[in-house]
A = this chain, B = another copy of it.
Amino acid sequence: MASHTVENYLKALFALANEAGEVGISDLSDHLAVSKPSVNSMAKALQQDGFLKYEKYKPLKLTAKGKKAAALVVRKHRLTEMFLVEQMGFGWDEVHDIAEQVEHVKAPAFFDRMDELVGFPTVDPHGSPIPDAQGNVLEIDCVKLSECAVGEKVSLVGLSQSSKSLLTFLDSHGIALGHTFDIRAVEPFDGSMTVVHQGATDQTFSLKVCERLLVNKEA
């Protein structure tokens, strides 16, 4: 099995590829807080192990094997998050850091049991899909709230690049997955949106927030 370090590289590669498409040495270097030469030599090592296709000066590409391995790490991470929230009573803003640690545990039975105990979920507490045991990822049908138009009714199904501060923000506004928004107005100047939250209270979100909220158009 892959080392702790390798698992982290794979996870980062997987995440960056899913949000940015092409992944360069520098992207990984920033994301993992590791120097570029370190990433460079790790890239060669990962290629050696068949996880990565690497050519000088070209973007990094996970192979099928690499994608599967990465997805299985993500699976462990997200199952853990789900377990922490559902079975252990943690808040959705507390679980990322713990899961970051637990995901490296090498004990398949442990994660299988978590999966069972939380009822074989398909998404984690932040609405991100949980890859299956074969490493397949189900795409969720969603768009950014910022891409929706006035008059639409949507429901929150996930978050893009969720961070502790985003989660805290949402908590403080009483927003959770599944909540609905009626889009009342979009400010042309800064892209901020005014919505009716859960059919009750008016709230205004900055563009930055709206870009992070992934919604589904049949609320």
Contact = CB atoms under 8 A, between A and B. Distances in A.
B113 A107 contact: no
A89 B113 contact: yes
A200 interface: no
Interface residues of A: mostly helix, strand, loop or mixed? Answer: helix
A175 to B, nearest CB: 24
Given A84-B110, A90-B109, 17 more contacts: A87-B87, A88-B110, A88-B113, A88-B114, A88-B117, A90-B113, A94-B109, A97-B107, A98-B105, A98-B110, A101-B105, A101-B106, A102-B102, A102-B105, A102-B107, A102-B110, A105-B105
Contact of A109 (B98, B109, B113, B114): B98
A107 B98 contact: yes
A106 B94 CA distance: 14
20 contacts: A84-B110, A87-B87, A88-B110, A88-B113, A88-B114, A88-B117, A89-B113, A90-B109, A90-B113, A94-B109, A98-B107, A98-B109, A101-B105, A101-B106, A101-B107, A101-B110, A102-B105, A102-B107, A102-B110, A105-B105
A147 B70 CA distance: 54
A87 B83 CA distance: 12
Contacts of A87: 87
